Amino acid sequence: MRIGSSEADSLQAVESACRRLTAWLLDAAYPMWSTRGIDSMRGGFQERLTLSGEPTDDARRGRVQPRQIYSFAMAPALGWKGDASGAVAQGLSYFLTRFRRADGLFRTLVTSDGAPLDDRALLYDQAFALLGFATAAPLLGGGSFDLVGEGERLLGAVYQHLKRTGPGFESGLPHGPPLLSNPHMHLFEAALAWLDVGGGNQWRELADEMGELAVTRLIDPATGFLHESFDDSWKPTRDAAGRLLEPGHHFEWAWLLMRWGHRRGDVREVALRLIDVAETHGVHGGYAVNVLKSDTSIHDGSARLWPQTERLKAAALAARLCGDARYWKMTADVAASLFRYLQTPVAGLWYDRLTPSGEFMREAVPAGNLYHLVGAIHEVAALVRSAGHRA
């Protein structure tokens, strides 16, 4: 198969962006976050760094530790020659020791010293723990961590404590409304990650349930909008939260649905429509904004980093699967806009939030965004490799 001329017009720009992004990741980001981003005294990963690269000593969230585990577990495949195994191993030891509850689920927050601060078990955090275990398993092999067992035990605890009688899962312990689409998205991501490393039928069943939930309940077939907050019957809640839309999540769900149902035309159609809806209504001035209202007016016109990375992932995978010139151009354009976020005074950091006036907020750098950046760079690199094979 040949690359079409319209694709070739954007290929050079995508290849150049991939080289620049990968060089930034390997030469600046990984060195920064593998040193200053790791607490060498107490273990675990720092929650945030200042724009000068110093730890803030904030309390640590249960979702950030496995996000950093994922980021470093992916590092060797992206070409980093540093001690990825050591970073992942210390992060796992800290997470398993400081965050695990007696019921097998993981708490949401500890102090910087590792003492429990918020003992709730949120579905969102369990999903990231499953993702971290899945990506770390091939790297650490048969060492001191039984990560296949950890994943299976946690999945069992999630089903025991959080599974609803109908579709989907409760948002956390204690149970209570609303039902949320975002944790299900990351549970979907974790299930697909386990399938990528040879996981068994339980992961296929979970991925299938999450995919079907998205296309039958979470996405409005009339508008193509993906909602965030739902009642017990999976109808958008009648409060303000039920009327909000996040373009970044439209892109993220599209990326996951394309991975899950790439051989199903109906699923691909839903995924590509999510991209089109988010591009049409959620991109302003070249950036994906944070939140829209259901009438597509802007609710929060700031543009955080993570919606840009999810837009890039969706565009790159759509270009790889569809070979459509518009997704090649979209990939090149989004990658170019992403570089603005990386132009910090100290290399290896990023700005988290672009204001509607076009200025970046000078605030501490959230560690959890490394997960978004690593995923986006990995997807662009996969597109470039695929284009090389096709050529």
* Segment 202-216, tens digit of pLDDT: 999 999 999 999 999
Is a pLDDT exceeding 60 seen at residue 2? no
Where does residue 250 rank: exposed (0-12), middle (13-18), buried (19+ CB within 10 A)? buried
Q: Residue 387's pLDDT is what?
A: 87
Q: Residue 88's pLDDT is what?
A: 98
Is a pLDDT exceeding 60 seen at residue 190? yes
* 318 confidence band (pLDDT: 50, 70, 90): very high
Query: Mean pLDDT, to the nearest integer, of 242-254?
Result: 98
Residue 351 phi, psi dihedral angles, 5° rounding:
-85, 140
Q: Residue 388's pLDDT is what?
A: 75
Q: Residue 281's pLDDT is what?
A: 98
Where does residue 51 rank: exposed (0-12), middle (13-18), buried (19+ CB within 10 A)? middle
* 1 confidence band (pLDDT: 50, 70, 90): very low
HEC per residue, the chain:
CCCCHHHHHHHHHHHHHHHHHHHHHHHHHHHHHHHCCECCCCCCECCEECCCCCECCCCEECCHHHHHHHHHHCHHHHCCCCCHHHHHHHHHHHHHHHCECCCCCECCEECCCCCEEECCEEHHHHHHHHHHHHHHHHHHCCCCCCHHHHHHHHHHHHHHHHECCCCCECCEECCCCCEEHHHHHHHHHHHHHHHHCCCCHHHHHHHHHHHHHHHHHHECCCCCCECCEECCCCCECCCHHHHEECHHHHHHHHHHHHHHCCCCHHHHHHHHHHHHHHHHHHEECCEECCEEECCCCEEECCEEHHHHHHHHHHHHHHHHHHCCHHHHHHHHHHHHHHHHHHCCCCCCCCCCEECCCCCECCCCEECCHHHHHHHHHHHHHHHHHHHHHHC
* 326 confidence band (pLDDT: 50, 70, 90): very high
Q: Which tens digits make up the pLDDT trace of 40-72?
A: 999 999 999 999 999 999 999 999 999 999 999
Domains and CATH numbers, the chain: 1-31+225-391 (1.50.10.10), 62-218 (1.50.10.10)
Give me the chain's average pLDDT, please.
Answer: 95
Tokens of 92: 């796992």
Is a pLDDT exceeding 60 seen at residue 165? yes
Q: CA of 66: how far to CAs of 69, 131, 246, in Å? A: 5, 7, 23
Strand partners, 60: 110
Lowest mean pLDDT: which of 8-17, 133-142, 249-258, 363-372? 8-17
Is a pLDDT exceeding 70 seen at residue 7? no
Q: Residue 11's pLDDT is what?
A: 87
Cα–Cα distance between 288 and 307 in angstroms, integer? 6
* 189 confidence band (pLDDT: 50, 70, 90): very high
